[in-house]
Each structure stands twice: as structure tokens, then as C-alpha cells.
Structure 1
Amino acid sequence: MTVNVSSNQFVPRDTNKLALLKKSAPDYQMRDVEFVQADGSISRGVYLNKPGAQATVLYFLGSGIRLDADGAYFLKPFADLNLNVIAFDYRSFGRSDATTSKHGLKEIESDTAALYDYARGMVQGQLIVHGHSFGSFVAAHLAGQRQLDGLVLEGTGTDAKTYAQNLTPWFAKPFVSYNVVGDVAEVDNRRSLQDIQFPILIIAGKRDTTTPEPTARVLFDSLKQSQKRFVSVDAGHMDAMLFPEVKAAYKNLLKELGNAN
């Protein structure tokens, strides 16, 4: 057997790097943003914007996703929708730094609230909070602390234990038990969202094995308020925002927000 070896194997292309947005969304400007948290930690991110955009999205990334490696993939759909978008890397990850050893959920939730207040003061008009996967739990907790214009949860679920169980392959589940400890045990999107009074859109993928569609449906059904929408498409965990049905649902949400003002 002969194996061909080239430099591409040692230095692969990063196909979703953030700088690619300059080509795929040429009408937009991208600038770096930085916010110093109360404990001195520094949250760094980007603000993708253009004049005449319909609204702004504050986007919370999924676990293990960082802007410089994956930003072009996750932020481009918002440009397609004529939306500005602000996104930050989580503390001690990607562009962001932490000055303390504390790196738990409470610190992330505190960072999130401060970043929302910063973004709210930075932009005019509608500010929609959108969380994907792990970011949907962060966004849901924020929604319980702030009166938002609108909330979008993509690839979401009910609680931390269910989320962890879904990460385990089906063949291993009979042999694995979960003991959810510390602040993670308190995570429950149903509790966070029980009193919200603003529009919410939940996006689910029929082929999503990380946060399966039924768990997103359970969350949706638990919501008391009437301004809620659920859209399910033939997507996996990472690609729902690419589907026309999801973009149409987003446009309906924007229309609803516009009519409310």
C-alpha cells in the first residue's frame, strides 16, 4: 500500500474561520468587541453589522464552539436574514480570558447577564437572544433574569441530566448512570422559562441526537405563555439554521416583534 503525504495533512484548512464572513457577507462590517467582567475576566467577541439591518441578535454558542474556528458557519445565517449579530467566546475559551480559577456555571451565567446589558446599551432597536445547544441553557437562564424582546432556543432540551444522557451512545446507556452535582443540578429550562412574557421560538432537528426533537417538544409544551412557536426540520444538531423553514420562522418572529411595537 502506498500512502500519499502532503502538507495539507499537517496544515489543514479551517473552512469555517471567522474571516471568511468578509467574502460571504460583503455588505457587513465586523469589529472586535471586548467587555471586562466584574471579576476582571475579559469577554471578547465580534459585532457583525450593517446599516439597515432589521434587528440585532445576541448569540450564545454551543459547547466547544469558538468564534475564530467556527464563526463563519454559525453567524452567516443571520446575515442572510438581514440581522446584525453579536457573539462572544465563553470565559477561558477562544478569545476570552479569565483572571480567576472559578469556571463554573454561575460565573458563565453572571458573564451572560453582563454581556446582555452591554449589548442592550450598545445597539438600538430589537435585540433578540439566541442560544444554540449549551448556549440555549445559558440563554434560557438569562431569559428568567431579564425582560427580552424575543428569545430563540436552537438544539435545546429540558435539564442538564437529560442533556448529558443524550450525549451517551444508545448501546452504552444501559451501563451508564448519571449523578448530576453542583450548580449543574439546578439547570432546568422549564423552570427558567416558566414566567416569561415575551415571544419565544424553539428550533429542533429531526436528526438531532444530541438534543433530540422530543426533548425540545417537552420544553415547548411546558411553556405557559401563548407567544410561542415551534419549528422542526430535517436537520442534525448543527445545521438547522440553514433550512428555509427555520429562516421563515425567524422572519415570522421578527414580524411579530415589529407588530408589538
Structure 2
Amino acid sequence: MISPNIQEQTAIIFEPIKLEPEYEFVLPQFTIEIFVPVEKDITLNGLLYEKPTNKYLMIYFQGNAKNLQNFLDNHAMVFDWGYNILVTDYRSFGKSGGEITGEELLYSDAEKVYEFAAFLGYHPDQIILYGYSMGAAMVAHLATCKPAKAVIMESGYSSINEMEFSAGLCPAFPLNNAEKAKDIFMPALVIHGLSDHIITPDHAERILNRLGSTIKQQFILAGGHGDLKEKPEYIGIINGFIEKLSAKELV
């Protein structure tokens, strides 16, 4: 079988929706639009939410579709969790430039976003890596090579090749989070939906079981893919994990 070319592979995995450069977001209080340089003449469009009373910065990596407007429409509840938030679109998404041509480019861009957070003045112990769905690959990578307080993976997959829709079709995008997990040693939280039929809960189990972290927790919640943040207990899971780390109660 001939493997799909890179454009066909990205079309299998990603569903970006472009935004015009002059598109204006309606932003919550304390939020500004930013651009993170990742390559000459290429930037990632992002949002930075900073409230003076918040101690930690959550670097949030999104799912595989749409753009930052979708984040504002469906995931903006993260602004109410008590953290500063840095979130960007991937290349070719929204107002971000460039094209995605393989996993190494995704990982390199994720590192540039982390470096932007450091440029803003955040110390590693103030940074929380958070990945939702596709974004789990970015935080899994960062957790192997960049220091942070914790890594959180919501509805993540163990690898692209273990997904039914992409099995064997995307050699440029292994995105093997379970393999990466072996080299993750920071505190880790894995959250998944019991009724997730897009990325089934066994993916979360494979990631959890291979984590090198001595501090790790898993929560399987009643719910599917993309609706877990709406659960009333969700914010307590996130904040409880971080608060216990800060109080050194998790050992």
C-alpha cells in the first residue's frame, strides 16, 4: 500500500479553519491577543490571559480542529479555574501561518510556545502543561524535555497509529504519547471520558501505565469526548491535584 503524501496525512488528522488577519476576537477581561514567532516570517496566533492574583500559568494545547474562536466558544471555562492561560493555534489554524509537515514541526512549535512563557517571566515551577485530545501529544513531548510543575492530559490518545481512522495512514505523525510517557517523570494527571468513542479509555490506560512519573493520577469520568470540562467535578480534580502538589501532599 502506498502511504498518503504529507498533505493527505495532515488532512486525515487536522481540520483547521482559517481566520482573516483582521478577524477580531471578543476577549474576556485580562486577555490579550499575541503572536508567538516559531520560524522566520511564521508566527502562531494566541491568547494570553493574565490575572494579577493568579500564581500559575497553564500552557493549553488544543484539539485537532477549527481555531481559537472555537476555544473561546467551547473551552473558555478554563479562564475560571484560577490560572493564567497561554493558548495558541497550530500552524495553518486560524490566523497562524505556515503548514504542518510532520510531528517534529509540531513538537518544535510547542517548544517555542514554552519558551515564550519563559520569556514572559514564568519559572518552570509556575508552569502547568495542559493538553486536550490532539494537544496531549504536545504536552507529552514537552514533559520529556522541559521542566514544569505538572502535565495534564485530557482525552489523549496513546498513538495516532492506534486510532481507527488513521491506523497505518500517517507515518509522518506517529505522535506516540504512550512511548513518550516512559520519559515523563514530572507529576502527571490523566483524565478521560468513560463513553469517549472517538478516543476510547484504553488509550488513557496505556499512557498511565507507561508514565515514568512517581506522582500520577487518573480520573475516568462519566462523559464522552469534549464535554468533560462541563462536569461539575472537573475543576475540583484539576485544582485538587495542583493544590496537593503545592502542599507536597502527593508522594
Q: 5 Å matches for 1:21-100?
A: 22=28, 28-76=29-77, 78-98=78-98
Once the two structures are TM-superposed, the CA of residue 86 in structure 1 deviates from its matched residue by 0.7
**% identical equivalent positions:** 22
Task: List gaps (5 residues or longer) in structure 1.
Answer: 1-16, 23-27, 169-177
Once the two structures are TM-superposed, the CA of residue 66 in structure 1 deviates from its matched residue by 0.9
Q: Out of 212, 225, 229, which is 1:237 matched to?
A: 225
Most deviating of 219-228 and 151-160: 219-228
Q: Out of 105, 113, 117, which is 1:107 matched to?
A: 105
Secondary structure (helix, strand or coil) at the match of 2:238 reads helix
Q: Which aligned segments of 4 or more residues in structure 1 are displaced greater than 3 angstroms?
A: none
Match of 2:161 in 1: 161
Distance 2:176 2:155 in 1: 15
Query: Given the two structures, how large is their TM-score scaled by the length of structure 1?
Result: 0.78
Once the two structures are TM-superposed, the CA of residue 103 in structure 1 deviates from its matched residue by 2.8
Deviations 1:205-226 (A, max 9, x none): 0111111112212211222322
Aligned length: 224
Deviations 1:41-95 (A, max 9, x none): 111110112111242111000001311233232132x222111111001011102
Distance 2:70 2:94 in 1: 9
Higher helix share: 1
Distance 1:230 1:102 in 2: 31
Distance 2:100 2:173 in 1: 14
Deviations 1:82-123 (A, max 9, x none): 11111001011102112xx66322212111111111112214
Q: Does 2:245 align with 1:257?
A: yes
Once the two structures are TM-superposed, the CA of residue 257 in structure 1 deviates from its matched residue by 3.1
Match of 1:182 in 2: 171
Amino acid at match of 1:105: E
In the superposition, relative to structure 1, how do residues 227 and 102 fare at CA in structure 2: closer, same or farther (>3 Å)? closer
Query: Given the two structures, how large is their TM-score scaled by the length of structure 2?
Result: 0.81
Once the two structures are TM-superposed, the CA of residue 181 in structure 1 deviates from its matched residue by 4.5
Distance 2:203 2:159 in 1: 9
Match of 1:11 in 2: none
